Amino acid sequence: MSNSESHRHYHVVEQAINFIHRNFEHQPTLAEIAQSVHMSEHHLQRVFSEWAGISPKRFLQVVTKQAALDALKQTRNLMEASQSVGLSGTSRLHDLMVTCEAMTPGEIKKGGQGVSIQYGVVVTPFDEAVIAWTDRGICFLQFADNHEKNVIDELYRQWPNGTFKINSEQAQAYSDTIFSVEPDKKLARGKIHLVLKGTNFQVKVWEAMINTHSGQRLSYSQVAQLMGSPKASRAVGTALATNTIGYLIPCHRVIKSNGELGNYRWRPNRKAAILAWENATQNE
């Protein structure tokens, strides 16, 4: 399925996800989920499965609190295993799909002066987004929610002295690569490079998230442990909330220690959708 087809299905699936999230404690039936989006069971089953790679009932299992708690426990065990063999985190147990570099304080102070930034509005499986990049790598990726102008304005504010150019074709090519589930198009190690703009602490948090893997879930305290600051859980949450490179810096993988999804800059329903989509596609 192409990204454009996936994008069209996402709006229906998002409504179903919203219903599942509000009612997962009662374990709704497929008929109840279908009724909530005014579709037949067969039609919803087909659309949902084509979009997410899993059925609505399997998605329900993924988003239940117990499943989330089990995932957090698995992450803790993985961290303990990595530390037992002398590793500081889990990154060496899973190949990185993304590399990154931080801007220097001097570059940040200049506000993008002398930097050429290209951008475009793109179709993704999770609705439209704005993506931007410099000659060094991707510097911005935010879901738009029908407010593309506001997101583009934020991009301009982030790089107030930069030179901007629209490049819709290259932007969509980036999106097609980033969100592809086709084996021959999946990201290779180092395929996507990010340019991070933030404080030293923020960059450390974002790097810790980049070193996680698809389908993994972590609590705020686990992220703090991964970056070597076990008492910094609250500061970790603040750093994640300021992330402007969605999905590629996977802050969607951080949930509350009690198994609840918690907040997400681009809406909790999208967070749930991305987690389920990752869970369904990670082994393809």
Token pair recorded at residue 61: 């299992």
**β-strand partners of 99:** 193
Beta strands in 34-187 (DSSP E): 98-102, 116-124, 127-134, 137-143, 163-166
Least Cα distance to 34 among 55, 7, 61, 8 occurs for: 55
| Tokens, residue 55 | 């059925």
The CA distance from 136 to 14, in Å, is: 34
Strand order in the sheet with 98-102: 98-102, 192-196, 137-143, 127-134, 116-124, 163-166
Considering just the CA atoms, what is the radius of gyration of the chain in Å? 19
For residue 40, what are the contacts with CB-CB under 8 A and spacing of at least 6? 34
The token pair that represents 214 in the structure block: 């698809």
Contacts of 195 (CB under 8 A, 6+ apart): 100, 101, 103, 133, 134, 136, 137, 138, 139
Q: Which of 60, 100, 139, 251 is catalytic?
A: 251
Structure tokens at 68: 């989330």
- Cα-based torsion angle of the residue sequence 174, 253, 279, 69 in order, rounded to the nearest 10 degrees: 180
What does the chain come to in residues?
284
Annotation marks residue 139 as catalytic: no
Please compute, for residue 100, the number of CA atoms within 13 A of its CA located in the half-sphere on the CB side: 25
Cite the active site residues: 251
